[in-house]
Structure 1
Amino acid sequence: MTTVKLGRVLVVGGYGAVGATVAGSLGDWFPGRVVVAGRDEAKALRLGGVRADVTDPDGFRRTLDGLGDVAAVVMCVEPPDAGIAHACLERGVHLVDIGATRRLLDGVGELDGLAAASGASAVLSVGVAPGLTNLLARRADEAVGGAERIDLTVLLGAGERHGADAVRWTVEHLAESAAVRPLRVELPGYGPRTAYAFPFSDQYTLPRTLGTAQVATRLCLDSRALTSTLFALRRAARRPAVRQALTAVLRRVHAGGDGFAVRADARRGDRRAAYALTGRAQSRVTGLVAAYVTRELLAGSLPAGVRHIEQLPALARLPEELAEHGVGLQRLDGPPEG
């Protein structure tokens, strides 16, 4: 029989696009045990929650101490550093973090010893990309017996309405120099697409967690025209004024659908393996991934310490579990076109 750790779950950013899905799913599984939190006190209070500011670790500690019985915190917004993670883990409070910035993930990773000593678990790379991409990469890596190279491709729906922080994050990272050449790749439901280098955190995480020498991550949108335009502006986006203008435009223009697709290709010598996932509403699915991870964490099946999602065998079949939510998993034949 599965034993679920008692205590409440604090969902930080629980009134946003991702957080609302997390709070709703966990509320169905654990009635009366979910507390919504966020910087906007009025929004949080309307949902029976509390104010919590991720830029103020000391204030966050007071929030945890005031609630008194928090078993886990789900971070649906990105803090500026690892201070909030430290506040949770030093108290033995579990952490699920959807953060996607390399610097932040590395900072939380350095708290592994603290988490292990307090008996707390922290799960990183939770969402679609990173998250489901990591799990597909692990699956493809195992299929070839340990990959020498992994290519990850992400297609996002340009018609989905993302929050301001998500759009700003994408534009900020667009400005980074391309590390690899574009790749022509077949994506289920979308046909052949050209994807461009984009610094998803997987390309830095997977060499450490899987031991893969080369990992490349790329992005495209379901709108071919918008993809071409966006990456044509990569050099110009290094200027702050251009990034600001581009962020404003992307928040207003929704020239596409809300579907997404991710693909992982692994190669070892002449061995190849590829897997793909498709679904709708990337923000919703990110929230579902975080909710499922939190449920597993509360069941006590995850080890103490800080781990990325692909390092946890208990979560390996999460893609199959998401099938009831319209997420489809496929094993593909043949390498990307190149």
Structure 2
Amino acid sequence: MTTVNGGRVLVVGGYGAVGATVAATLSGWFPHRVVVGGRDEARARRPGGVHVDVTDPAAFRRTLTELGDVAAVVMCVEPPDARVARLCFERGVHVVDIGATPRLLESVAALHEVAAGAGATGVLSVGVAPGLTNLLARRAHEAVGGSERIDLTVLLGAGEAHGADAVRWTVDNLAAPSAAGPLCVPLPRHGTRTAHPFPFSDQHTLPRTLDGARVTTRLCLDSAPLTAALFALRRAARHAVVRRALIASFRWVHLGSDLFALRADAHRGDRHAAYAVTGRAQSRVTALVAAYVTREVLSNSLPAGVHHIEQLPSLSRLPEQLADHGVALHHLTGPPFRGDRRPWSESGTG
């Protein structure tokens, strides 16, 4: 790995489950160059820490000025708007963003010319979903020569201790409307599962980056009974009191494992290609993806401007790079799924 400068890396939200793993991984590669930022004043006073509040752009600007030599910022929390990203780009500071809210991703992507003009790179859709799902979608899309339709499936481990923000985001989006219906999807190491439409940001991003393909993302949990119960409450989740109860339940009840699986199916006429990724501890893998992307950003091998992860060819092999961390890539063969339990096969490549 070659780095261009000795600037530091500011991990914003570095005290959370994802941020702490990002900071620890980057510290192993870049000793004494990682600064952990967050709103916790006590932790910010520790060596290598700094107080950061993404809801206050003026204060964030002062933090960047005081640090002085920040080369990259890793956003492990979502700010309310794109002003913090703009501040970074205007200073020529790279940004790696694990955000998953379509509106915010669009507003940061709109800063492409600002970043490019300052020689800064922004990478969006970084993590598991979005992130690895985007990379799988592009791989399947190219395998069929440009897809007309892409179906993405995300299975998350109900037994994993997800952070409060992740649980709240999932529950808040449960009642989002969708024109698509559920599908029975075969997933490596999990068998056939019923997955339900869910508003992950990848299905909003990919039609623009993959030539207009129609994209639907569906979600299930590794616990089939919990999946059924969760989506049975979809309409009720429109009410705040129900959402609060669900958030409390998911924070304390863990009925499954920490395994996760992702699958991307691309269709073009009678052509079909499918790839999947399996692993464990989705939050840890999200952090690892962010760390690997940040390392690539610091090598200065990525073009200036703002890009989603699937738009950067040098990041296409990330699933293979994560093999040492228990992540496996699967090339699936056989007829496409049709909501039934047809036979299928796989060949592991990770």
TM norm structure 2 = 0.95
CA distance in 2, matches of 1:336, 1:240: 36
Match for residue 134 of structure 1?
134
Query: Residue by residue, what CA displacement relative to the aligned partner does 1:128-164 show, whole Å, maximum 9, x if unpaired?
Result: 0000000000000000000000000000000000111
Give the match's secondary structure for 2:243. helix
* Contact residue 277 and residue 328 of structure 1 kept, 8 A: yes
After superposition, where does 1:34-73 map in structure 2 within 5 Å?
34-46=34-46, 48-73=48-73
1:179: how far off?
2.9
Per-residue CA distance 1:190-222 (angstroms, 9 max, x = gap): 000000000000111000001133100000000
Q: TM-score scaled by structure 1?
A: 0.98
Aligned residue in 2 for 1:276: 276
Corresponding residue of 1:206: 206
The runs of 5 or more residues in structure 1 that have no matched partner are none
- On the 8 A contact 1:129/1:154 being kept in 2, the answer is yes
Say yes or no: does 1:324 pair with 2:328: no
Shift of 1:240: 1.1
Q: Give the stretch that moved more between structures: 131-140 or 76-85.
A: 76-85
Q: Is the 8 A contact 1:186 1:337 kept in 2?
A: no
Question: 1:288 deviation in Å?
Answer: 0.2
5+ long unaligned stretches in structure 2? 340-350
- The one-letter amino acid of 1:228's match is A
Which residue of the partner structure matches residue 88 of structure 1? Answer: 88
**Following superposition of structure 1 onto structure 2, how do residues 150-299 of structure 1 map, counting pairs within 5 Å?**
150-299=150-299
1:331 partner amino acid: H
Shift, 1:258, TM fit = 0.3
CA contact (8 A) 2:175 2:235 kept: yes
Helix, strand or coil for the counterpart of 2:45?
helix
Residue 280 of structure 2 aligns with an amino acid whose one-letter code is R
Please report how far the alpha carbon of residue 336 of structure 1 lies from its aligned counterpart in structure 2 after TM superposition: 2.0
Q: Distance in 2 between matches of 1:245 and 1:46?
A: 36
| 2-structure distance, mates of 1:2, 1:160 | 35
Q: In the aligned structure 2, how far is the partner of 1:44 from the partner of 1:288?
A: 23
Per the alignment, do residues 175 and 47 of structure 1 end up closer, same or farther by CA in structure 2, a change over 3 Å counting?
farther
State how far apart, in whole Å, the 1-side matches of 2:199 and 2:21 are.
Answer: 26
Matched letter for residue 193 of structure 2 = R
What is the rounded CA distance, in whole Å, between the counterparts of 1:93 and 1:23 in structure 2?
Answer: 17
Separation in 2, partners of 1:264, 1:160: 23
Structure-1 residue corresponding to 2:343: none
The equivalent of 2:344 in structure 1 is: none
Give yes or no for contact 1:150–1:212 (8 Å, CA) kept in 2.
no
Instruction: State the alpha-carbon separation in 2 of the partners of residues 301 and 170 from structure 1.
Output: 34
Offset at residue 177 of structure 1 (A): 1.2
**Quick check: 2:261–2:276 contact (8 Å CA) kept in 1?**
yes
Provide the secondary structure at the position in 2 that maps to 1:174. Answer: coil
| C-alpha contact (below 8 Å) 2:34/2:48 kept by paired residues | no
Deviations 1:81-135 (A, max 9, x none): 1111111111110000000000010010110110011110000000000000000
* Partner amino acid, structure 2, of 1:126: V
Contact 2:11/2:76 (8 A) holds in 1: yes
CA contact under 8 A between 1:36 and 1:47: conserved in structure 2? no
How far apart are the structure 1 equivalents of 2:300 and 2:124?
17
Letter in 2 for 1:217: T
Cα distance between partner residues in 2 of 1:239 and 1:43: 36
Which residue matches 2:303? Answer: 303
Alpha-carbon distance, 1:241 to partner: 1.2
Contact 1:13 1:75 in 2 (8 A): yes
Match of 1:337 in 2: 338
Instruction: Give the CA deviation at 1:80.
Output: 1.0
SS of the residue corresponding to residue 46 of structure 1 reads coil
- CA drift of 1:236 comes to 0.6
Q: CA deviation at 1:262?
A: 0.2
**Contact persistence 1:53–1:60 (CA under 8 A):** yes
How far does the alpha carbon of each residue in 1:280-333 deviate from its partner, in whole angstroms, 9 at most, with x for none? 100000000000000000000000000000000110101000000000000001
Partner Cα distance (1:248, 1:294) in 2: 33
SS at match of 1:279: strand
Kindly provide the amino acid, as one letter, of the partner of residue 337 in structure 2. P
The one-letter amino acid paired with 1:223 is S
| 1:43 Cα offset (Å) | 2.1
Residue 47 of structure 1: how far off its partner (Å)? 5.3
1:13 match: 13
Residues 279-288 or 2-11, more deviating = 2-11
Q: 1:225-250 CA distances to partner (integer Å, 9 max, x unpaired)?
A: 11000001111101111111111111
